[in-house]
Amino acid sequence: MRQVRDTTGRFALRPHYQPAELDRECEAVLAQFFRPSHGQIPVPIPTDDLTRLIERDVSDFDPGADLAEYGADVEGVTEFRPGRKPRVRIAGELAYDERRQNRYRTTLTHEYGHVRFHSYLFEIESGSDDLFGLPAQRDRVQVCKRETILDTRVVDWMEWQAGYVCGALLMPISSLRASAGAFQEERGIFGPIASGSAEAMALIGRVRGKFCVSAEAARIRLLKLNFLAAQDRGTSIFAPADGAGLPSISRPR
Ligand SMILES: [Zn+2]
């Protein structure tokens, strides 16, 4: 991780992660979490264990929240509180609806991305020698809408990183590489598979079943890791890591 200027104006500097760094860190978090109880990372990762993981690292976790005050399609909110662990709330309609389990799992891991990779930014004291600069009170609440939970093409680097972490936790890199590699070997495929092809659909289906994720979450993860080839090079999949270098916009309010 290196520090770069934050063009959103939220901090003076911000962390810039390469995707491989996030993959490595996420797998290390999971390995450490599961070693005492399971010895290794279970696949798929049970939702109850993901809940235990987030509960460990926040002061208050509410999976049945009413987030209507933040607007339509808001599925998760992480509130950063200097001096205390963050508070995470997830829209109640996700946790208690079996048909929305995949969305609940992706929102849970997305919010965990904020908790794990962004909380420390809010712990740094404001002052003249402050590298990051502490955001105003109103900026200490990260509001996450449905369309940015998995991926975002806009340059909200916090959303981009949390979206990547979501995929990296639900589909840990070593297991995913093993699965996709086995698929390629069985079918004699070398290199990325064309998106939209029958083989791409078969690979997405396999990943979806193995890791208990939606087809969209599997597709995005496979694209980011280059197991699938994008049809449209203008999509966010091929944006530079966490949007560095693209024009800035303000984060969603
Ligand atoms: Zn978010």
pLDDT digits (tens, 9 = 90+) for 45-73: 999 999 999 999 999 999 999 999 999 89
201 CA to middle of ligand 1, Å? 28
* Cα(23)–Cα(6) distance, integer angstroms: 22
Q: Which of 68, 73, 59 is nearest to 103 (CA)?
A: 73
* Cα(89)–Cα(38) distance, integer angstroms: 28
38 CA to middle of ligand 1, Å? 29
Confirm if 210 and 179 have CB atoms less than 8 A apart.
Answer: yes
- Residue 238's pLDDT band (cuts 50, 70, 90): very low
104 CA to middle of ligand 1, Å? 13
Per the prediction, the chain carries an average pLDDT of 86
* Cα(68)–Cα(71) distance, integer angstroms: 5
Give pLDDT, residue 65.
96
First to last CA, the chain: 27
Residue 144 β-bridge partners: 76
Give pLDDT, residue 244.
44
187 CA to middle of ligand 1, Å? 37
Tally of helices (H runs) and strands (E runs) in the chain: 8, 8
63 CA to middle of ligand 1, Å? 15
- Residue 124's pLDDT band (cuts 50, 70, 90): low
Q: Among 174-178, 209-213, 243-247, which stretch is predicted with the lowest mean pLDDT?
A: 243-247
Q: Pairing relation of β-strands 74-79 and 141-145?
A: antiparallel
Give pLDDT, residue 237.
44
Residue 229 β-bridge partners: 194
- Residue 7's pLDDT band (cuts 50, 70, 90): confident
Evaluate if residue 184 carries a pLDDT over 90: yes
Evaluate if residue 214 carries a pLDDT over 70: yes
Q: Among 113-117, 166-170, 227-231, which stretch is predicted with the lowest mean pLDDT?
A: 227-231
Confirm if 40 and 30 have CB atoms less than 8 A apart.
Answer: no
Q: Among 82-86, 124-128, 217-221, which stretch is predicted with the lowest mean pLDDT?
A: 124-128
Q: What's the token pair of residue 174?
A: 């070593």
Confirm if 41 and 48 have CB atoms less than 8 A apart.
Answer: no
Q: Please, what is the angle between helix 215-224 and helix 198-211, to 10°?
A: 110
Evaluate if residue 129 carries a pLDDT over 60: no
158 CA to middle of ligand 1, Å? 7
Looking at per-residue confidence, does 242 or 34 come out higher?
34
Distance of CA 207 to the CA centre of its chain: 17
65 CA to middle of ligand 1, Å? 16
